[in-house]
Amino acid sequence: MIQYGTETGPLQRDPWGSFRYVRVGGEKPFDDDRFSSLKDTPIFPLSMRRHLPVWPEGREGGKLDQEGMYYAGMIADQLQTPPQDWLVMSRRYTTQSVDTSALEPDNANGWFDTASQTLHLVIPDPVPQEVADEMPRMLAKRHQPVKQLILHPCYTVGYGSKDHYNFPYYGAVAALYGDGLPVRLANDRYEQFQTSIKRHAFDMDYRIAVDKQTGVLQAFQGAMTADGGGRCNFTPSVVMVGATAAQSIYYFPKSDLSSVGLASRAIDAGSARGYGTLQSMAATEMMMDELAQELKLDPIEFRLRNVLKSGMKNTQGAIPAGAIRADEVLVKASQHEMWRKRAERKVEFESQNPGKRYGVGFGCVQKDFGTGAETSFARVEFSEDGRISLFHSGAEMGTGMSTSQSVLCAQWLGKPADEAHFSVTDWALLPMVTSGDPYTMSQDEQDKLQTNPNWTPSYCSPSSASNSAYYFSHSTREAARLVFEQGLWPAALSIWQSGIGGGQAAPLVVRKEDARWVEGGLTAAGMQILPFELLAKKAYQMGNLTGAVVHVFNRWQWAEADFKLNNHSERLPVDGLSVRIGNGEFSTLAREQVYYPPTQRNNAAVTYYSAVGTLTEIAVDIATGKVELLNHHSIMECGNLIVPELVSGQLQGGLAMGIGHALHEYLPLYEDGPGNGTWNFNRYHLPRASDVAVWKQTGDILPALSETDPPKGMAEVVMIPVVAALVNAIAHATGHRFRDLPVRAENILEVLP
């Protein structure tokens, strides 16, 4: 018999996370800040009242959080009673819940060998190291503990939708009760809709001030809430990233940006492509077009007046890494025929198509890549017969990182890896250990923990946050560089310097920086080309370094450490190192000193950006409200490309997802939503080829500043500007500005005359 208790209604809980970032800059953009999160502190709630945050009381000269709230109050007062030459605009934007729609539903294959008490588990997971760490703890609580767990991470798709998810644990339980038989546990598509991680629905209130005479932005106040669902996946960091990204490509002298991740009865929301920035930056871009209209300025010209330039600070007070090139993206977009001829094309198109309205829209954003605690292992080695092997902790989630990391070896070793292994969980060759939370630990705690020569703030990152091109590449590149500098280069010198009088090298000046891989092998300053196989054999004969394992850590800058190599101390941008000499075994080198980024750098929230701008050309059918995407063009800035074909694929896929988000995809949050088990692709409109101008779309990539530019993460940013560009194009076509997504045919029909 089942007896139920009193009916209580949905559980009411405090938010999963709340954040606030206040900045007041100096007189000029490059002057020191009066207050910022990086210089001072982000602001956190003192308590909760009715399940909403209670912020500290503002007080000038008080504690840091009180002083931050004092400046937040000052910004609010200015926006409420602005100077006469300010235009202050207030708008509310909302975005919907969507399904992440991984084409491979969540699944796991398992077999429990009862004879040996060994559990074998095949898992499609972006961070198998997490499962390797957590699963034994769960299995240890079984009445008959499992003696051995053997994980088999596999390639899959779905990226963030499988990040920090629970399905591998269900697969393990199913295997334990499989009576010794192999078990496959997998969702059908209805179950996938019912249980898989969703994109957060956002509700955003923005207030922006601009000088009416100069068209220069003055202040930005933004408050956003996101529905995190019933269990906390990545909601705290999603809302944090949403707030810190809201400025998009613009410089604001003053800003107050807050975000709250609500706990609700909705399906769990978590890591999805765009990660909060899709919601917050698309809204900013829509508002920029409306501000430009009010000021009677060309929308791209207005953006150029306010674009963040190199050396300026973001809304957390941090200076972004390297050259910021969003202004170049804007200039190229302004010169594109789709933009220049939009007025005459509108007249021409509408005269030839009386039942349709023509519009062109633009959006441009720059998105961070990385998490602020990026870390990975990489092992690069070569055999005596010249075969290169790569082992990496990163997981292949359909992004092509297994190709790009293999290709990267060619920069230092002249050719891609002959053999590559990913999702590696066993790093006994470099026994790093971790403890504490890299995001919340104090400087004193870090200083104490780093006295252990094997300690690192974080052990291993998932494949997430567009991290493979830059962060995973760093560990691969550093391992390959060591192999070249300590193994192959000395071997090359030995060959070139052999013979009477110092050989062929003696008459010339041969420096390592002149080394070049060319067809057939290695040369430098006119030296004989040496095949890789010859160099490998010589390196083994000399007892040189033939393999390296590195561990790296990044908190918005790379950790460094001093290691002794060939009796010389060398500072490397790695925090752990193990090497192999000749045919010997790998041995861990003790770091002499380590230099971790200060914990205060967590307050920067982001320093790495890549920029994308997108132009869209649409037609709206006034009888049906349907939007037809006629064409679109994107301009990217993403450093040097590792594999151009992969970048093209990311761009095309990201655009399709952004188009779906802007025009088609929608899930009710609660009882009528996917949790009721009735949702499938018959009700959920994913964009098809006919929706995305598949044969007309074009893309352009800014050339790198030099061959030394690092590649940038761009897999998420590519889906964001098209959202705003489409909504702005609808406004151009219909005269109505939508602020709630998606904009579907029925919404358009409601506003057409």
Q: Confirm if 612 and 721 have CB atoms less than 8 A apart.
A: yes
In the beta sheet, which residues pair with residue 35? 24
Amino acid 708: pLDDT: 96
Beta strands in 95-246 (DSSP E): 98-99, 107-113, 118-123, 148-153, 183-186, 198-199, 201-211, 217-227
Q: Which CATH architecture has domain 17-98+198-369+608-750?
A: 2-Layer Sandwich (3.30)
Predicted local distance difference test score (pLDDT) of residue 160: 80
Cis upstream peptide for 742 (omega within 30°): yes
Task: For residue 451, give the 3-state DSSP assignment.
Answer: coil
pLDDT digits (tens, 9 = 90+) for 115-131: 999 999 999 998 899 99
CATH code reported for the domain at 374-604: 3.30.365.10
* Distance between CA atoms of residues 485 and 412, nearest Å: 9
Q: Indicate the pTM of the whole model.
A: 0.96
Give 461's Cβ-side CA count (13 Å radius): 28
Three-state secondary structure along 464-529? Answer: CCCCHHHHHHHHHHHHHHHHHHHHHHHHHHHHHCCCHHHHHHCCCCCCHHHEEEECCEEEECCCCC
Q: How many CB atoms lie within 10 A of CB 414?
A: 22
d(CA 463, CA 460): 10
Name 532's Cβ contacts closer than 8 Å, sequence gap at least 6: 382, 386, 413, 414, 415, 488, 521, 522
Cβ neighbours of residue 560 under 8 Å, at least 6 residues apart?
A: 571, 572, 573, 574, 575, 594, 595
For 161-198, write each residue's pLDDT tens digit. Answer: 888 889 999 999 999 999 999 999 999 999 999 999 99
Place of tokens 């995973």: 472
Per residue in 497-555, pLDDT tens? 999 999 999 999 999 999 999 999 999 999 999 999 999 999 999 999 999 999 999 99
Distance CA 259, CA 18 (A): 6
The two beta strands, 419-421 and 388-392, are parallel
Return the pLDDT at 9.
85
Fold topology of 107-186? Aldehyde Oxidoreductase; domain 4 (3.30.365)
The Cα 532–Cα 522 span in angstroms is 7
Q: Which whole number is the average pLDDT over 141-152?
A: 91
How crowded is the C-beta side of 215, counted as CA atoms within 13 Å?
20
Phi, psi (rounded to 5 degrees) for 441: -65, 150
For the ranges 73-82, 157-166, 284-293, the lowest mean pLDDT is seen at 157-166
8-state DSSP, 702: P
What's the confidence (pLDDT) of residue 598?
A: 97
Pairing of strands 593-595, 560-565: antiparallel
Question: Tokens for 674?
Answer: 């996917």
* β-strand partners of 45: none
Phi, psi (deg, nearest 5) at residue 224: -135, 145
How high is the mean pLDDT of the chain?
Answer: 96
Residues 249, 255, 257, CA angle at the centre, nearest 5°?
A: 90
Eight-state DSSP code of residue 353? -
Residues 6+ apart with CB under 8 A from 81: none
Domains 17-98+198-369+608-750 and 374-604 share a fold: yes
Distances from the Cα of 679 to the Cαs of 191, 193, 355, in angstroms? 9, 6, 34
Name the pLDDT band for 258 (thresholds 50, 70, 90).
very high
Q: Which of 161, 165, 170 is nearest to 108 (CA)?
A: 170
**Among the listed residues 96, 80, 278, the one whose alpha carbon sits nearest the alpha carbon of residue 667:** 96
Using CA atoms, how far apart are residues 594 and 570, in angstroms rounded to an integer? Answer: 12
Do 368 and 315 touch, CB atoms closer than 8 A?
no
Confidence of residue 726 (pLDDT cuts 50, 70, 90): very high
Residue 354: CB partners within 8 Å, gap ≥ 6? none
Is 190 in a helix, a strand, or coil?
helix
Could you state, in order of their start, the residue ranges of all structural domains in the chain? 17-98+198-369+608-750, 107-186, 374-604
Backbone angles phi, psi at 60, to 5 degrees: -65, 130
For 224-255, what is each residue's pLDDT tens digit? 999 999 999 999 999 999 999 999 999 999 99
Region 131-156 average pLDDT: 91
Report the helix count and the strand count for the chain, using DSSP H and E: 18, 30
Decide if 443 contacts 599 (C-beta within 8 A). yes
* pLDDT the model gives residue 215: 98
